[in-house]
């Protein structure tokens, strides 16, 4: 497209140059011919004046004696010798017209002999003279019309002759010079384009960089789409699980992974748009959508992009040569999507709103895409609020203001209390209780999740060690904890400090934590398992993990995502998914915990399916540690059931 644009520009330049050259030559010819014409007209007028005066002197006797034939005999020989003489009128002083003569092609006009009788621009000159007799008396007036058209015709012929010759010669010389200039400009342009292309490309992956994306947004193709209102999708992408790969296998493997990801993304969007790397593990994808259903096309495109990245990548940390070890890693993709012209009126606004959507996708747990919605704006106010909340979170952590509430986990068949899940709580002096869904993502994004987790785990283990019954404590870990090599040591230290038996602690990991290298995750989880700590796979069914992870990693419990449980009453598909997960757990010998139970219908349905345990507001709301003793008092005297016994 750029080459065609330059060719069109060259053609327009050559055409304009040729037009200017022709105009200049014709103007020059015009000025030359105009000067010649003026000289010829002056010479012709002088001659016509002399002829008129001669005829006037010759006609004076005939006018006095009213001799028309004599005048005719005098006039005709002169008219025969001078074709410019068009008409003549001989009038006596008393107003009597003695003789009047005109050629057949004379454009007759009433009163042509009178001053200003002919229209402006008429190429006929009328010269009048008074006739004086021999005695000095006025005898009449002679008016003669002289034709200037032959002079103009000759001047026009000279103009076109000179013009064509000069234009032809100039165009030939100009074309030769232009050809030589184009050759030199072509070499210069090729070198310039090579340099410019390097500036527009990411040196690592070969796809466009941020500057190249900006240029593409201003290209003719997208400019036409903007002008016509055609739907355009901008997706900003952030890799999930890239840092563990980079930290584990080194920057070389990280670079290789980025190249493979860029190649997949570029190949996926090649027919519809462009892919660009903005920096680090951030990418941007611009696509032209089907105008019939832009929203559906955007969703399909986002799912395809996430799908191509979800397929495992093969890396060679030690080099691809002989003896190099190949490893497979998995990463995910978080996408923020905005559409134009629906969401934005220009490219800058489209970029901002896609960034807002990406921020929301990452805040909601990563590994998903989010379409921009109006409530995501204003982004600046929200991000400033997030920065303020981060500062307040740091202060709350320093002042030990974070605490835990505990939600009961019960056996569904009998209602027996089996344990509690510790849930993070932040009692804010102004806001009240800040939701974990609000401050946990901020902690993860700003490097606070590890100290926050250690603080809360220490509180939860200390509370659990003081319970009057040896029930299980379930505690959630962030996916970022699997990147911390000393996690087992930290857990062991907290258990030793608080005096809680390792067998009573159950650590929950979401499916998003399994993105990345399974070998590292398996080693860390196996070390925790060897300590006696139980492991649960939380939010199972949300899309990241599968049978391979369940088989490879040492989990003890599967927890069904509460979204499926809450949707069972109205969604047949959700009921089938829950039934499949329970059946899978039974096949693998893993007990299943259903989260989000809020109605008795849910309990009845889960019990029929053979679900072991559950939690939710129907079975018990989260409560602070000081409200737990009545629950312990209601337990039977024999040793309490535990999650592993269920």
Q: pLDDT tens for residues 80-134?
A: 787 878 788 888 888 788 888 888 777 766 777 777 766 666 677 788 888 887 7
DSSP β-bridge partners for residue 614: 410, 594
CA atoms within 13 A on the CB side of 66: 5
Helical pair 294-310 and 251-269, crossing angle rounded to 10 deg: 150
- pLDDT at position 639: 47
Average confidence score pLDDT of the chain: 82
Average pLDDT on 286-294 reads 88
**Range ranked top by mean pLDDT from 124-133, 149-158, 202-211, 357-366:** 202-211
DSSP β-bridge partners for residue 282: 238, 279
**199 — pLDDT class (breaks 50, 70, 90):** confident
- pLDDT at position 603: 92
Query: pLDDT over 90 for what percent of the chain?
Result: 30
Residues 340-372 pLDDT 10s: 888 887 888 888 889 989 988 888 877 888 999
- pLDDT at position 29: 66
- pLDDT at position 54: 78
Whether residue 533 has a cis bond before it, omega within 30° of 0: no
Q: How far apart are CA 591 and CA 610, in angstroms?
A: 10
User: Is 70 exceeded by the pLDDT of residue 516?
Assistant: no
Average pLDDT on 230-241 reads 91
**645 — pLDDT class (breaks 50, 70, 90):** very low
Query: pLDDT over 70 for what percent of the chain?
Result: 83
Whether residue 331 contacts residue 257, with contact meaning beta carbons closer than 8 Å, is answered with yes
Q: How far apart are CA 340 and CA 229, in angstroms?
A: 8
Residues 361-407 pLDDT 10s: 888 877 888 999 877 876 555 666 778 888 999 999 999 999 999 99
210-377 carries CATH number 3.40.50.150: no
- The tokens describing 218, both together, are 């201003």
Give 512's contacts (C-beta < 8 A, 6+ positions apart).
Answer: 240, 332, 365, 366, 367, 479, 542, 544
Max CA pair span of the chain: 167
Nearest to 331 by CA among 443, 234, 249: 249
Q: How far apart are CA 518 and CA 559, in angstroms?
A: 20
For domain 399-633, the CATH architecture is Alpha-Beta Barrel (3.20)
To which H or E segment does residue 18 belong?
helix 2-65
User: Is 60 exceeded by the pLDDT of residue 517?
Assistant: no
DSSP β-bridge partners for residue 472: 419
**Range ranked top by mean pLDDT from 68-82, 420-434, 453-467, 482-496:** 453-467
Average pLDDT on 514-543 reads 78
| Domain parsing of the chain, residue ranges | 2-103+113-152, 210-377, 399-633
Residue 96 Cα to chain centre, angstroms? 92
User: Is 70 exceeded by the pLDDT of residue 3?
Assistant: no
Q: How far apart are CA 455 and CA 149, in angstroms?
A: 109
**640 — pLDDT class (breaks 50, 70, 90):** very low
Q: Strands across the sheet with 369-371, in order? A: 273-279, 282-288, 232-240, 332-340, 369-371
Which one has a higher pLDDT value, 47 or 370? 370
Handedness of CA 596, 599, 601, 603 (dihedral sign): positive
- pLDDT at position 438: 87
User: Is 90 exceeded by the pLDDT of residue 235?
Assistant: yes
CATH topology for 2-103+113-152?
A: Beta-Lactamase (3.30.450)
Q: How far apart are CA 147 and CA 45, in angstroms?
A: 10
């Amino acid at each position: 497209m750029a080459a065609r644009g330059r060719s069109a520009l060259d053609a327009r330049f050559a055409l304009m140059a040729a037009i200017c050259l022709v105009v200049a030559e014709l103007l020059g010819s015009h000025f030359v011919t105009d000067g010649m014409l003026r000289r010829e007209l002056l010479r012709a007028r002088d001659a016509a004046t002399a002829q008129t005066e001669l005829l006037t002197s010759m006609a004076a006797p005939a006018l006095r004696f009213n001799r028309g034939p004599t005048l005719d005999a005098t006039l005709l020989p002169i008219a025969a010798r001078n074709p410019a003489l068009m008409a003549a009128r001989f009038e006596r002083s008393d107003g009597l017209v003695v003789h009047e003569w005109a050629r057949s092609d004379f454009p007759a006009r009433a009163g042509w002999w009178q001053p200003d009788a002919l229209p402006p621009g008429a190429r006929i000159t009328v010269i009048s003279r008074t006739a004086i007799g021999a005695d000095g008396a006025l005898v009449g007036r002679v008016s003669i019309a002289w034709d200037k058209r032959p002079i103009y015709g000759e001047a026009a012929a000279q103009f076109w002759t000179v013009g064509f010759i000069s234009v032809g010669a100039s165009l030939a010389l100009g074309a030769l010079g232009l050809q030589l200039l184009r050759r030199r400009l072509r070499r210069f342009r090729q070198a310039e384009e090579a340099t410019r292309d390097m500036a527009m490309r990411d040196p690592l992956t070969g796809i466009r960089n941020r500057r190249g994306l900006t240029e593409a947004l201003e290209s003719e193709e997208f400019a036409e789409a903007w002008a016509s209102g055609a739907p355009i999708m901008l997706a900003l992408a952030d890799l999930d699980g890239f840092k563990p790969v980079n930290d584990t296998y080194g920057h070389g493997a990280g670079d290789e992974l980025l190249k493979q990801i860029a190649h997949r993304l570029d190949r996926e969007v090649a027919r519809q748009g462009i892919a660009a790397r903005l920096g680090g593990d951030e990418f941007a994808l611009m696509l032209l959508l089907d105008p019939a259903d832009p929203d559906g096309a955007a969703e399909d495109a986002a799912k395809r992009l996430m799908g191509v990245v979800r397929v495992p990548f093969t890396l060679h940390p030690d080099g691809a040569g002989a003896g190099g070890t190949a490893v497979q890693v998995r990463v995910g993709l978080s996408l923020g999507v905005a559409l134009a012209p629906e969401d934005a009126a220009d490219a800058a606004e489209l970029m901002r709103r896609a960034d807002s959507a990406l921020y929301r996708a990452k805040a909601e747990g990563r590994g998903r895409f989010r379409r921009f919605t109006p409530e995501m704006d204003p982004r600046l106010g929200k991000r400033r609020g997030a920065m303020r909340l981060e500062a307040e979170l740091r202060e709350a952590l320093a002042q030990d203001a974070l605490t835990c509430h505990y939600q009961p986990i019960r056996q569904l068949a009998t209602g027996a209390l089996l344990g509690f899940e510790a849930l993070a709580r932040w009692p804010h002096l102004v806001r009240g209780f800040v939701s974990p869904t609000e401050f946990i993502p901020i902690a993860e994004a700003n490097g606070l999740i590890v100290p926050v987790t250690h603080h809360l785990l220490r509180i939860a283990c200390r509370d659990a060690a003081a319970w009057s019954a040896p029930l299980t404590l379930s505690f959630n870990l962030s996916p970022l904890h699997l990147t911390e090599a000393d996690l087992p040591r930290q857990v062991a230290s907290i258990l030793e400090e608080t005096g809680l038996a390792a067998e009573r602690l159950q650590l929950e990991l979401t499916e998003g934590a399994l993105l990345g290298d399974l070998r590292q995750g398996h080693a860390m989880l196996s070390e925790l398992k060897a300590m006696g700590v139980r492991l649960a796979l939380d939010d199972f069914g949300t899309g990241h993990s599968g049978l391979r992870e369940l088989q490879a990693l040492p989990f003890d419990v599967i927890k069904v995502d509460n979204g499926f449980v809450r949707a069972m009453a109205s969604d047949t598909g959700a009921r089938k998914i829950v039934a499949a997960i329970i059946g899978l757990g039974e096949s693998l010998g893993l007990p299943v915990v259903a989260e989000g139970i809020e109605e008795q219908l849910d309990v009845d349905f889960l019990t029929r399916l053979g679900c072991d345990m559950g939690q939710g507001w129907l079975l018990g709301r989260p409560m602070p540690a000081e409200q737990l003793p009545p629950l312990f008092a209601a337990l039977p005297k024999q040793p309490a059931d535990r999650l592993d016994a269920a």
